Structure 1
Amino acid sequence: MHTLCSLVLLLHPFTTLADTPFKVRHYGRSYTATQTYALKDYFTGDDLLTWDFFSASDPTHGDVNYLTKADAIAKGLAYIQKDGTTILAVDGKSHLKAGESRDSVRISSPKSYTYGLFITDIWAMPHGPTVWPAYWTVGPDWPNNGEIDIIEVKDFISITLVFMLPPWTGRGCFLDTSVASEFTGQQTEHSSCSSSSNDNDGCGVTDSGAHVYGHNFNAIGGGIYAHIVASSGIKIWHFPRNEIPTDIISRSPNPANWDKPVAFWSSLTCNISEHFKDHVITFDTTLCGDWAGNSFPGGIVACTEAVADPVNYALAQWKINYVAVYENFGP
């Protein structure tokens, strides 16, 4: 894996999705061959607290102290709300000295996956000064077995919110620019996905839509992020809460009926089976670090100083409804 943000409105209290008065939308335009998907794994509530808690030093050099499961639960940073929502939070209470790391949580799925359709329902995601949240998948022996960042954001005052979707791989994988009309996101300046190219930027696609991240995402009750990893390529979709396809709600997803994805990495210029293998699904929230810290107004020193103030982390929480993994049994 591989935010200053003004906070004006408070979120409404969570209500169960069954009681949420949002209309759903069923898309009719096809961009993939018809497939049949069967539910393989479904993680919700306490299931997510059975995932692996990462407690080593942050590989991206963020100012965080990732907690073990026992410590995260004891400190109230990993728990289940009464409505069944899983909360993964950054410590928003402790006043720290400048340079001290702040407690946070990073979890990964106990199973690994190579191919499949992955659907995650998120009610709210972390945001605030210095915050660098990510929902991503990664294989062993990074970067040779790949990394896919479904959500990765740095967010500061006066800087446009950008939703990052960049994969990283070993050499020989590229974003196919000839299929740009088949996805809605904006390609970043580089097409090479190699982690050793372009200052480790990957072959990114961005989405600066109205409800892709942070306060605007949370204010409408979040939404769905879905992605497919197949031998033909990798696609990522985002559906705001009021635009979730009915087939996702009924647990019979059919991506052939969905609108264009936000991002698409075609197998024509990247051998998916060669570059993406055995991925675990990961949620984390780091602070500052290599990417967000160096982009922070005033630089890494100013970012590190901001970590000391707990007020910055009042909204630095993942609120996850479920993660579903489907297998493809279609043609």
Structure 2
Amino acid sequence: MQPISALILLAFPLAALCHPSARRDEVFQSRATFTLKDHYQGKDFLDWDFFSNADPTHGNVNYLTKSEAIAKGLAYVQKDGTTVLAVDDTSRGVKNRDSVRISSPKAYTTGLFIADIWAMPHGPTTWPAYWTVGPNWPHNGEIDLLEGVGESETNQITLHTGAGCTLDTGFAAKFSGKATGTKNCQSGNGGNAGCGIRETTPNAYGHKFNMIAGGVTAHLVDASGIKVWRFPRTDIPADITAQKPDPSTWGKPAALFSSSTCDIKEHFKDHVLTFDTTLCGDLAGNLFPGGPAACEKEVGNPDNFKLAKWMINYVAVYDS
């Protein structure tokens, strides 16, 4: 979730085009066997890396160290094993509010990643994200999987890369989301919108996501491309629950970024999995009614953050 100068909020539908290459289509339909590599749950998340530097997206937050976050009750595990990552909801009149950003201790280049999330942050000024990112941003890529601002009801899946990566609109018929107006995934130097696909799945973000007890976000990264699926709590495939995932049976993904116009092996390397909640900043601040100044003022009201919590069941990583 690097700085974004502008995010296209009004997505437009792309024509459902059949891609001319039947051979490439077969690649996306191929079946693979996946083996569990890492499984994070409960206290495992408290051993992730806590980012405590200044927010690179210029948000009004103080990211806490592990010891600070635990001591202040902003990172903890409930009795049922759910991990909670919260924003301070008690301090009044502060300019920067305490929050948490964690990243996995291991980095991954390819694989199948399944995140089971009970609830996510929402509310005025909030900008939460579940995302992955490589070193030397943006040259090793970023994948924003669950991201939005405030009380948004829709989720946008976005790639950020160095030069030479674009969204192949020829595959529009093969994902259920709607591409935004930006096909160029290149970010940096002030132009950080990336290339995005806005989900059309109901209950995919914020309050409505939480009202159905969340669900699963799954994404597959391999040489053929990047696919992202979203499953509400009541529709999680049995193979995921059984730890025998078979993406070939999951149907059309919410988003698909083909390697035909973006060399995945070149642009996405050594990604850490990340959860964070920032406030205002480059995106939420600019989109807030009244602009950044009005947004910053609302940061001082703790009542805005009673629901600004990640509640995570588990994250599983599979090799093919």
**Aligned counterpart, 1:184:** 176
Conserved 8 A contact 2:153-2:208? no
Instruction: Tell me, in whole angstroms, the C-alpha distance in 1 between the residues paired with 2:247 and 2:37.
Output: 17
Q: 2:121 aligns with which of 116, 119, 126?
A: 126
Match of residue 60 from structure 1: 57
Task: Give 2:134's aligned residue.
Answer: 139
Instruction: For residues 173-213 of structure 1, give each alpha carbon's deviation from its aligned partner in whole angstroms, at most 9, with x where no partner exists.
Output: 01000000000001000111000489311110011432101
Counterpart AA for 1:238: R
Paired residue type of 1:141: N
Matching of residue 285 in structure 1 with residue 285 in structure 2: no
1:40 has 2:33 as partner: no
- Contact 2:153-2:207 within 8 A present in 1 as well: no
**What does 1:137-286 correspond to in 2, within 5 Å?**
137-156=132-151, 161-196=153-188, 199-286=191-278
Deviation of 1:217 (Å):
0.7
Moved more, 209-218 or 64-73: 209-218
Query: In the alignment, is the contact (CA less than 8 A) between 2:61 and 2:279 conserved in 1?
Result: yes
* Alpha-carbon separation, structure 1, partners of 2:162 and 2:234: 38
The answer to whether the 8 A contact 1:163-1:213 is kept is: yes
- For the Cα contact (< 8 Å) 1:124–1:317, is it kept in 2? yes
| Distance of 2:277 and 2:107 partners within structure 1 | 21
Q: Deviations over 1:87-146 (max 9, x none)?
A: 00000111124xx10000000000000000000000000000000000000000000000
Tell me how far 1:322 sits from its aligned partner.
0.2
The offset of 1:220, in angstroms, is: 1.0
Residues 274-313 of structure 1 aligned to structure 2 (within 5 Å): 274-313=266-305
8 Å Cα contact 1:143-1:169 kept in structure 2? yes
Are the counterparts in 2 of residues 64 and 286 from structure 1 also a CA contact under 8 Å?
A: yes
Matched-pair contact (CA < 8 Å) for 1:63–1:101: yes
TM-score (norm 2): 0.91
Between the aligned partners of 1:188 and 1:239, the Cα distance in structure 2 is 22
Aligned-residue CA RMSD in angstroms? 1.3
Q: For the residues of structure 2 that align with 1:45 and 1:58, how far apart are their CA atoms?
A: 26
Separation in structure 1 between the aligned mates of residue 127 and residue 188 of structure 2, nearest angstrom: 22
For residues 77 and 28 of structure 2, the distance between their equivalents in structure 1, rounded to whole angstroms, comes to 37
1:22-33 counterparts in 2 under 5 A?
32-33=29-30
SS in 2 for 1:290: helix
Structure 2 residue 104 is matched with structure 1 residue 112: no
SS where residue 192 of structure 1 aligns?
coil
CA distance in 1, matches of 2:169, 2:150: 27
> What is the distance in 1 between the residues matched to 2:189 and 2:176?
25
Work out the CA distance in 2 between the residues paired with 1:304 and 1:164.
24
Superposed CA deviations along residues 203-249 of structure 1, whole A, max 9, x for unmatched, are: 10011432101111111111000000100000000000011001000
- In structure 1, how many angstroms separate the alpha carbons of the residues matched to 2:80 and 2:28? 36
Residues 242 and 31 (structure 1 numbering): CA distance in 2 closer, same or farther, change over 3 Å?
farther
Give the whole-Å Cα distance in 2 for the aligned partners of 1:71 and 1:208. 38
The answer as to whether partners of 1:31 and 1:259 remain within 8 angstroms in 2 is no
Distance 2:57 2:284 in 1: 10
Long gaps (5+) in structure 1 = 3-29
SS of the residue 2:160 aligns to:
coil
How many Å separate the matches in 2 of 1:161 and 1:215? 7
Equivalent residue letter for 1:66: Y
Deviation at 1:43, TM superposition (A): 0.2
Q: Secondary structure at the match of 2:185?
A: coil
